[in-house]
Amino acid sequence: MLQEKYYPNKEHIKNASIKSMDEYNELMNAAKEDYEGFWGKFANEKIDWIKPYDKVLDESEAPFYKWFIGGKLNVAYQCVDRHLKTKKNKAAIIFEGDNGDKRVLTYLELAYEVSRTANMFKNEFGIKKGDRVVLYMPMIPEAAISMLACAKIGAIHSVVFGGFSAEALRDRIVDAEAKLVVTSDGAFRKGSPYMLKPVVDEALSKDCECVKAVCVIERNGEDVNWVAGRDYSYNELIKSQSKYCESEAMDSEDPLFLLYTSGSTGKPKGVQHSTAGYILWAQMTMEWVFDMKDNDTYWCTADVGWITGHTYIVYGPLAAGATTIMFEGVPTFPDAGRCWKMVEEYRVNQFYTAPTAIRLLHKMGADEPKKYDLSSLRILGTVGEPIDPPAWKWYYEEIGRSKCAIVDTYWQTETGGHMISPLPFATPIKPACATFPLPGIMAEIIDENGNPTPIGEKGFMCITKPWPSMIRTIWNDGERFAKSYFGDCKKDGKPVYFTGDGAMIDEEGYMTITGRTDDVINVSGHRMGTAEVEAAIKKHPSVAANAVVGKPHPIKGEGIFAYVVLKGEDNFATEAETIKEINEIIKKEIGAIALCDDIVFVPDVPKTRSGKIMRRILRSIAKGEEITQDTSTLEDPTIVRKIEEIVRSCKL
Ligand code: WTA
């Protein structure tokens, strides 16, 4: 049966950056006919090169692809300085605090702030090109300014999400051998101050010799501990810095940033992005997918600690010369109308959020949108996890008033920018479907042997040609990079990029993402490795073994379900206490985002004779599904029934 389609709003087609499927097909065909020519043309048009590149793509060391070889550019210049000629007084960043305080930075003001901060990093902390700087920051303009300041002087930033614990922060600092940590005293959430600096203090309390200094921004004014000779006040040091700073001429392939993300092993991966390819695609997708126009106000509710915050709050919007909103608070404070109030007040044209937020706002305030004028909205976006049809419908009808295009953007930390997404005024949209690969992106759904999967059957989402904004390597671990992403899938004998997601194609070529096919789970749009959570649980002294799986959750998308085997005689009388302790450990090792919804104690976990945990069976049990998998290959086939009974009796 053909699914219902929603056609682009005619009102906006005239000025849209891509106006029809014919135009889409033309672009796609141009890419297929002359791949390098396609990308080269956009690189010439979009990037303000210091020195033009010599060659578009070098595949000689695949999968370590290189783009725009020989070119020189600077991303801070591309995002800020170059706009001063035409839009120096345009708002670049509009900040709204948790408590409603506001701050607007024009492009000129942003240029000065970025230069001052860059000078401070250089002069006060001796940061040079190639040095790593960890940013552990709340959602305040200084987070974006510090990212751009690093880009200005060629330092490599690694932003660590503020919800990560001291242990998780330390791992990331050590892996990147960061010299400087930039943080704030804390910030505000739901009307109260919360703290970040104490987490940095704890992270640096051992094994962090690489860090020479901590630069602390004042946001909430709370008292913080001060280590003499290590900690410096941003607010003090910035005063004496010059507002002019030369942009370092960076090579196209110089790393722009690292961003740690979860994979299927316990150790997070430092995804390394490049300079030219990354910024090119960030800017192009801003123009194509969000149809950015000069007078638009764009708001993405992500956190800068995730890739969405990097590409679609900071780099993409600013490279495109847009006005981007940064919001410190949460969508439900002071009530579930906060976002819609802000949309009305700032006349937001593009609103981009995660399905988990849509479900939450729907549940907590279905009628809130009716109280506000949302007529400025033209495009609504979603990202981070599959969106379910009811959430899609509410978003479309209540927020978009059945007039906005919904762009369900499928992509990953590793892809740098959108891969599969509707074009808002060209693509006939099917609800909860990512639709087609963007022009230039060669995405295919294939089986283990590299053959396209038949219509309606699940396969692996792969990208069969390199693209400019792709991950370049895993920091310090090229081998893991090649193995994790290019080891499994082949097409025509050549390795292709394996996303780890399952997908399906329909009779009209529409692609729907069905979720991860590996041991990665997606909790409230936050990506988490089951192995990371398992490693944390294992630290509890009474735990002998454990296995973690995702379980569908009505708001969060997935919740974490842990099966725990206790040691020897440890009895179940202390269950409630042990559950509390396990969650405490998770909070300490990873952060509150990884807390388990369900922890059940079982006599053993199902393993194959070679010792591999059968997570598929555990997933089915967590969901309350019938076990259809063959259990005869298990070391102890009777364990499945035992676990099923325990879970059923827990009435989870
Ligand atoms: C999932 C976030 C379905 C997917 C940008 C992917 C999605 C993982 C979508 C990456 C979407 C992201 N529909 N699933 N529109 N967008 N995902 O690295 O499983 O935090 O592999 O990047 O989120 O998460 P990450």
Using CA positions, which residue lies closest to atom 23 of ligand 1?
A: 384
Q: Token digits for 253?
A: 């392939």
Using CA positions, which residue lies closest to atom 12 of ligand 1?
A: 384
- The two beta strands, 490-491 and 156-159, are unpaired
pLDDT average, residue stretch 214-235:
98
Buried b (16+ CB within 10 A) or exposed e, 285-305: bbbbbbbbbeebbbbbbbbbb
Residues 94 and 73 sit within 8 Å (Cβ to Cβ): no
Q: At residue 264, does pLDDT exceed 80?
A: no
Q: At residue 408, does pLDDT exceed 80?
A: yes
| Residues of each annotated binding site for ATP | 384-386, 501, 516, 527
CA distance 452 to 505: 10
Residues 217 and 235 sit within 8 Å (Cβ to Cβ): yes
Q: Atom of ligand 1 at shortest distance to CA of 410?
A: 15
Q: At residue 101, does pLDDT exceed 90?
A: yes
CA distance 95 to 479: 41
Residues 64 and 473 sit within 8 Å (Cβ to Cβ): yes
Pocket test for ligand 1, best of 412, 438, 518, 556 (most atoms within 8 A of CB): 412
CA distance 305 to 288: 24
pLDDT average, residue stretch 378-398:
95
pLDDT average, residue stretch 588-614:
92
Residues 163 and 593 sit within 8 Å (Cβ to Cβ): yes
| Residues of each annotated binding site for CoA | 189-192, 308, 524
pLDDT average, residue stretch 590-619:
92
Q: What is the pLDDT of residues 105-128, one digit of tens each?
A: 999 999 999 999 999 999 999 999
CA distance 485 to 499: 7
CA distance 428 to 573: 58
SS3 state of residue 17: coil
Q: Token digits for 123?
A: 């002069």
Residues 116 and 141 sit within 8 Å (Cβ to Cβ): no
Pocket test for ligand 1, best of 278, 527, 558 (most atoms within 8 A of CB): 527
Looking at residue 398, what is its pLDDT? 97
Binning pLDDT at 50, 70 and 90, where does residue 487 land?
A: confident
pLDDT average, residue stretch 40-63:
97
Instruction: Indicate the class that CATH gives domain 34-129+140-175+244-330.
Output: alpha beta
Phi/psi at 568 (5° precision): 30, -115
CA distance 130 to 321: 27
DSSP labels for 160-191? --TTS-HHHHHHHHHHHT-SEEEEESEEEETT
CA of 460 to the centre of ligand 1 (A): 14
| Residues of each annotated binding site | 189-192, 308, 384-386, 501, 516, 524, 527, 540, 543
CA distances (Å), origin 353, targets 132, 170, 296, 312, 347: 29, 29, 17, 11, 17
CA of 525 to the centre of ligand 1 (A): 7
Say which residue the tokens 């040095």 belong to.
131
Across 366-442, the runs of DSSP E, i.e. the strands, are: 379-383, 405-409
CA-nearest of 288, 304, 296, 246 to 129 is: 246
Using CA positions, which residue lies closest to atom 4 of ligand 1?
A: 385
| pTM for this entry | 0.96
| Residues of each annotated binding site for Mg(2+) | 540, 543
CA of 327 to the centre of ligand 1 (A): 22
Q: What is the pLDDT of residues 454-466, one digit of tens each?
A: 999 999 999 999 9
Q: What is the pLDDT of residues 489-511, one digit of tens each?
A: 777 777 899 999 999 999 999 99
Binning pLDDT at 50, 70 and 90, where does residue 97 land?
A: very high
Torsion of CA 36, 39, 45, 46, to 10 degrees: -150
Ramachandran sector of residue 610 (left: φ over 0; alpha: ψ -120 to 50; beta: rest): alpha
Using CA positions, which residue lies closest to atom 22 of ligand 1?
A: 412
Instruction: Indicate the class that CATH gives domain 520-650.
Output: alpha beta
Looking at residue 243, what is its pLDDT? 98
Ramachandran sector of residue 90 (left: φ over 0; alpha: ψ -120 to 50; beta: rest): beta
CA distance 623 to 529: 19
Q: How many CB atoms lie within 10 A of CB 308?
A: 24
The binding-site residues of ligand 1, defined as CB within 6 angstroms of any ligand atom, are 261, 306-308, 383-386, 408-413, 434, 499-501, 513, 516, 522, 527
Residues 51 and 72 sit within 8 Å (Cβ to Cβ): yes
Structural domain boundaries in the chain: 34-129+140-175+244-330, 443-467+477-516, 520-650
Q: Atom of ligand 1 at shortest distance to CA of 306?
A: 20
SS3 state of residue 526: strand
CA of 399 to the centre of ligand 1 (A): 22
Looking at residue 71, what is its pLDDT? 98
CA of 410 to the centre of ligand 1 (A): 6
Q: Atom of ligand 1 at shortest distance to CA of 387?
A: 13
Say which residue the tokens 């919007």 belong to.
317
CA of 416 to the centre of ligand 1 (A): 11
Average pLDDT, the chain: 95
* Superfamily holding 443-467+477-516: Luciferase; Domain 3 (2.30.38.10)
Q: What is the pLDDT of residues 131-182, one digit of tens each?
A: 999 999 999 999 999 999 999 999 999 999 999 999 999 999 999 999 999 9
Q: Atom of ligand 1 at shortest distance to CA of 499?
A: 21
Looking at residue 569, what is its pLDDT? 62
Q: What is the pLDDT of residues 269-323, one digit of tens each?
A: 999 999 999 999 999 999 999 999 999 999 999 999 999 999 999 999 999 999 9
Percent of the chain clearing pLDDT 90 (strictly above): 89
Residues 215 and 250 sit within 8 Å (Cβ to Cβ): no
Q: What is the pLDDT of residues 615-635, one digit of tens each?
A: 889 999 999 988 887 888 888
Binning pLDDT at 50, 70 and 90, where does residue 265 land?
A: confident
